Amino acid sequence: MDSATVGRATALGAAVLLSLLAAPAHAAPQEPQPDLAALPGVLRTAMQQGAPGALARIDDHGIVSTTAAGIADRKTRRALDTSDRFRIGSVTKTFSAVVLLQLVDEKKLKLDAPVNRYLPGLLPDDRITVRHVLSHRSGLYDYTNDMFAQTVPGFEAVRTKVFTLRQLMARSLARPRTTAPGGAYAYSNTNFVVAGMLIKKLTGNSLHTEYQNRIIEPLRLGDTFYVHPGTKIPGRHTRGYLTPDTPGAALVDATEQTVSWAQSAGAVVSSARDLNTFLSALLGGRLTSAAQLAQMQRWVPAGSGQAYGLGLRRRDLSCGVSVYGHTGAVQGFYTYAFASKDGRRSLAALANTSNNGKVHTTMLGTLESAFCGKTPKAPRGSSVGERIDPGAAAH
């Protein structure tokens, strides 16, 4: 089933109209309006390709548009709702980067200092800096490549396990590095395990406390939680379904898990509303100083049509518009959270499956609908992204 609702702010619309009438003739053209009619079709296509359900929410200069399709629970057949909570996977990395950049603002951390200055002896190379870690240029091997070489058996082996961050680091450090420090972008969850260790060392607090005090409470994110090592998503939520490697095999309900294998790299729970609030606040300059926001947007090439900053991804769309945010893949959930340069238009979308490359590519089309205002084409750079379980998106 499909549902679509669009809120209209009459006063806001009148103000925008007056500002346009008063604008000088040389003013830059408006950004394309969202194509709200196309979004339900994108979600239905994702369902045809194997997702039990999908949703999208656009916050656009005070106007909220939502659409959802399919089901949140394959047993009860409850319809997916745009207010449902879900696991956001690697969008967690942007939360972790924000905390560290706030610590830079507080003079407790320097981006170009060696990680080993703060975590003595952790890394085998003193040349690896905090900046290298946050931009995926450290060369640290991604331990999840081995952990989830077989999707379902790998997941079941860690579903209820609780790891320390050092144990996850040991898995990475047992393998050779992939690049020299400061080399080319090479996505690795290990980098944001290091980020989590830095947060805990520099603050003396848990990740939960720092996310809560620095981001969740100030922005009043009522649907956002870091519950590690708990296994349940609090409150009303959609269940997540992992696609096995064997074609045609039954989906695996992966909702309940510790996500201890990811932690600061991918264990946050949120909602579409909260993700849009978070990205709008970040890009609007409400979470860091202007200087640190600029550091987040010092881009390095990260695949066709993409670039990566510090815990922040830029995607260049077919209409020439660039959007800023992150994608996330955790077993059972694909998340897409992006906003315009000024944060005044934001999109959060979800498909409640993972390890399905067709669904992932289709759902990237929500960005085209939200920011280019036309029927989605094949997304640029769709083969490069966050790989937490194989097939989520190839490096």
DSSP annotation string for 262-316 = TGGGT--EEEHHHHHHHHHHHHTTSSS-HHHHHHHT--EE-STTEEE-SS-EEEE
Question: Does residue 322 form part of some domain?
Answer: yes
Query: Which CATH number characterizes residue 132's domain?
Result: 3.40.710.10
pLDDT of residue 374: 72
Instruction: Report pLDDT for 30.
Output: 64
List, for the chain, all residue ranges whose pLDDT scores fall below the cut of 50: 1-29, 381-395
CB distance 246 to 80 below 8 Å: no
Contact 58, 50 (CB under 8 A): no
Question: Can you tell me the distance from the alpha carbon of 229 to that of 211, in angstroms, rounded to the nearest whole number?
Answer: 15
Asked whether residue 54 is assigned to any structural domain, the reply reads: yes
On whether residue 330 sits in a domain, the answer given is yes
Q: Which residue has the tokens 């084409």?
A: 377
What global pTM score does this model have?
0.90
Q: Examine residue 309 and state whether it is found in any structural domain, yes or no.
A: yes
- Amino acid identity, residue 309? G
90 in any annotated domain = yes
Can the peptide bond before residue 229 be classed as cis, meaning omega within 30 degrees of 0?
yes
Contact between 95 and 215 under an 8 Å Cβ cutoff? The reply is yes
**Catalytic status, residue 90:** yes
Residue 10 lies in a domain: no
- φ, ψ of residue 64 to 5 degrees: the values are -110, 130
Catalytic residue (one of 90, 96, 188, 369): 90
Cα–Cα nearest to 154, from 334, 331, 383: 331
Q: Say if 15 falls within a structural domain.
A: no
CA atoms within 13 A on the CB side of 49: 20
Predicted pLDDT of residue 18: 36
Enter the DSSP assignment of 344: S
What Å distances lie between residue 383 and 135, 391, 395, CA to CA?
18, 10, 7
Taking the C-alpha atoms of residue 114 and residue 81, their distance in angstroms, rounded to an integer, is 45
Please state, in angstroms and rounded to a whole number, the distance separating the CA atoms of residues 300 and 218: 31
What is the predicted pLDDT for the residue at 31? 79
**Domain assignment of residue 43, given as a range:** 37-372
Question: Can you read off the two tokens belonging to residue 114?
Answer: 């060696």
Q: Is residue 24 part of a domain?
A: no
Total structural domains within the chain = 1
What pLDDT does residue 6 have?
A: 38
